[in-house]
Amino acid sequence: MAEVRSTLPPRSPQDIRHLYVPVHEIADKVHALRETFKTQKTFPISFRKEQLRRLYYVLEDHADEFADAMYHDMGKPRKDSLMELGNCLTEICHTVENMEHWLADQEVKSDPRFSMASTRIKRKPLGVALIITAFNAPLTTAVWPLSGAIAGGNCFVLKPAENSPGVAALWTKYLFENLDNSFHTVVNGEIPETTELLNQKFDQISYTGSTAVGRIIATAAAKNLTPCVLELGGKNPVFIDRNVDLDDAARKIAWGRTMSAGQACLCPDYIIVHPDQTADLIAKVEHHWSQFWSKPLINDPKYGRIVHKRAYDRITSLLGPSRIPAEASEVDLFIPPMILRVEKNDPLMSQEIFGPIVCVLEYSSVEDAISFVNSGDRPLAVYPFSQNSKWAEMILQKTLAGTSTVNDLMMSVWPAGFEFGGAGESGYGKFKGKASLYNFTSAMTILEMPKWMDYLTGVRFPNATPLDDWLAEMGKAKPKFSREVGSAEKVGKESIVSTNGMLACAVAAIVVAKFLHKGGDFSDIGRWVGGILNVTAGL
């Protein structure tokens, strides 16, 4: 039978090699950004907010261009592209609205010895950041770290994914036209350009992509002691309880596995289900697929395509010749959705599929299912489906992953400011909201010690007096637990106390008397007494 060809507009990925930055110029570009950072131009909050405002309108004003580019780059359906763009707009707004609160000095409640001093944390910009995006989500993997980098007061280099050339061209054009060009640059290119970037000294690196490349980036960053945020994906399991709305779960699996043709890091990779439910689940998933799109599926613009031939060949090799569906088209990079019952040693279980195929594994006990998941690399997400909240909570307690959505799929990435990232082999560090900003700032801990506190800390000096020794002994922490095994379980949020309130007041009287005898500022005494009252209030 002749292969059915798509009647959709042909994809025409751009050739942007003329936008590649010459390798020998990359070091100078990074150096220029470091010189800008030294001027502290990016430090004022007003500058940061203005750049984020401009970034917002780059996306809103050119939404159609970005959606068209994603179709030509990877065959991404327009609806999926606009949903991704909308997520980015929400994230920028959330950051602008909350960044001053996140950046405000944070008072830290210290132990009683230092409760009269000022203890706080100040967020400081890191310097120059490198942000490397992914082809499958070329907007969110740029905007999520960019929001934190800009809000944090940093300069940045954006390295768009080479497999999303149309989006890369738009980033290059519109960031240059709209943002202050002294604090950022876009470096387009492939392996040589990326390698040269990694040879430079950065203060933070953000990367979204494969685990294999993530290891390369982490190794390069380690040479300069550069911290990284790596979002690397993984094989995300779906746990199906016997007490479940199976049709609801099937509908969401049918959507989640085929969004962007399954090329999303949060897509469910395999389903763990009781044997009694397998046939019904497979039938329901296939039914929902039949309701989602028109026929022939290859002509429905709401269904995505595989990004390029290498990815198509990798997926079909995992399937093997006998399982490649007749509708698949190498020319159109089209693979129809598939749900397959497999064994644990199936090639499809050997790696993240990253395509519109979901596997079904059967379990005899939930303990065995959990053990199987925990025996492999840690996934980015786990998805328990159950009408029993205790069963779902057990899955969350006993598995290790970066995120989860209970009784749904992939939705944990949608709430604004809800931090997102992996665990173990699926990555480390977090994107979005405060977490993203904190990744791109350092926490400077600041202790301000008034001179009169020498009376409480005099024991550190070689010529300490017996009174200093007595004060130091009084300040020694007393545990709320004992030597008895298990006694620490009873301890609440406060794990240490100093003494009782009466003793603290006695210390106050002694130190105030000594201070007045030596002479001093009564405003300092007031602040010190306020600290004493705070201590005694908690005793």
Quick check: is 6 in a domain?
no
Quick check: is 420 in a domain?
no
Quick check: is 422 in a domain?
no
Which pLDDT score is estimated for 499? 43
How far apart (Å, rounded) are the C-alpha atoms in residues 321 and 332? 18
pLDDT tens for residues 304-356? 999 999 999 999 999 999 999 999 999 999 999 999 999 999 999 999 999 99
Which residues of the chain fall below pLDDT 70? 1-4, 493-539
Q: Which of 88, 155, 228, 265 is catalytic?
A: 265
**Residue 243 sits in which domain range?**
237-415
Quick check: is 4 in a domain?
no
Quick check: is 429 in a domain?
no
Which pLDDT score is estimated for 3? 59
In sequence order, what are the residues at sequence separation of 6 or more whose Cβ sits closer than 8 angstroms to the Cβ of residue 350?
318
In sequence order, what are the residues at sequence separation of 6 or more whose Cβ sits closer than 8 angstroms to the Cβ of residue 58?
174, 175, 178, 179
pLDDT tens for residues 400-446? 999 999 999 999 999 988 899 999 999 999 999 999 999 999 999 99
Beta bridge mates, 20: 188
Which pLDDT score is estimated for 502? 45
Q: Are 380 and 426 in contact (CB under 8 A)?
A: yes
In sequence order, what are the residues at sequence separation of 6 or more whose Cβ sits closer than 8 angstroms to the Cβ of residue 473?
none
Same domain, residue pair 214 and 115: yes
Same domain, residue pair 33 and 125: yes
Q: How many domains does the chain have?
A: 3
Diameter of the chain by CA atoms? 103
How far apart (Å, rounded) are the C-alpha atoms in residues 257 and 274? 20
Same domain, residue pair 103 and 243: no
Same domain, residue pair 53 and 165: yes
In sequence order, what are the residues at sequence separation of 6 or more whose Cβ sits closer than 8 angstroms to the Cβ of residue 434?
98, 102, 417, 419
Same domain, residue pair 150 and 287: no
| Known active-site residue 265 | yes
Q: Which of 91, 162, 196, 231 is catalytic?
A: 231
Tell me, what CATH number does 243's domain have? 3.40.309.10
Same domain, residue pair 359 and 293: yes
Same domain, residue pair 258 and 406: yes
Same domain, residue pair 153 and 260: no
| Known active-site residue 267 | no
Could you identify the residue written with the tokens 């917002």? 56
Which pLDDT score is estimated for 511? 58
